[in-house]
């Protein structure tokens, strides 16, 4: 994900294959021109299949990296 306004990049890395979902967080407010949507931020969701046996343990690594553009 790139934030051009603040000049940085966010990278989410998973140590196994999975899905990463991105969703904008927006609010709606009433103005003189009518309803307006305002971007507030972003949500990231990492998702992958997981099957555990009773008492089983699974370890995984998720890394969030932020760098300047």
Structure tokens at 56: 């089983």
Distance CA 38, CA 24 (A): 10
Q: What is the DSSP string of 19-35?
A: EEEEEEEEEEEEETTEE
Q: From first to last of the 69 residues of the chain, give the pLDDT tens digit.
A: 898 989 999 998 999 888 999 999 999 999 888 999 999 988 989 898 888 999 999 999 999 999 999
Contact call for residues 44 and 20 (beta carbons, < 8 A): yes
Which pLDDT belongs to residue 31? 87
Q: Is the pTM of this model over 0.85?
A: no
The residue to which tokens 């553009």 are assigned: 69
């Amino acid at each position: 994900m790139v934030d051009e306004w603040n000049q940085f990049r966010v990278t989410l890395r998973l140590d196994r294959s999975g899905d990463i979902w991105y969703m904008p967080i927006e609010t709606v407010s009433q103005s003189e021109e009518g309803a307006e949507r305002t971007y507030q931020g972003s949500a990231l969701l990492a998702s992958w299949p997981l099957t555990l046996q009773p008492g089983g343990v699974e370890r995984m690594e998720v890394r969030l990296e932020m760098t300047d553009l």
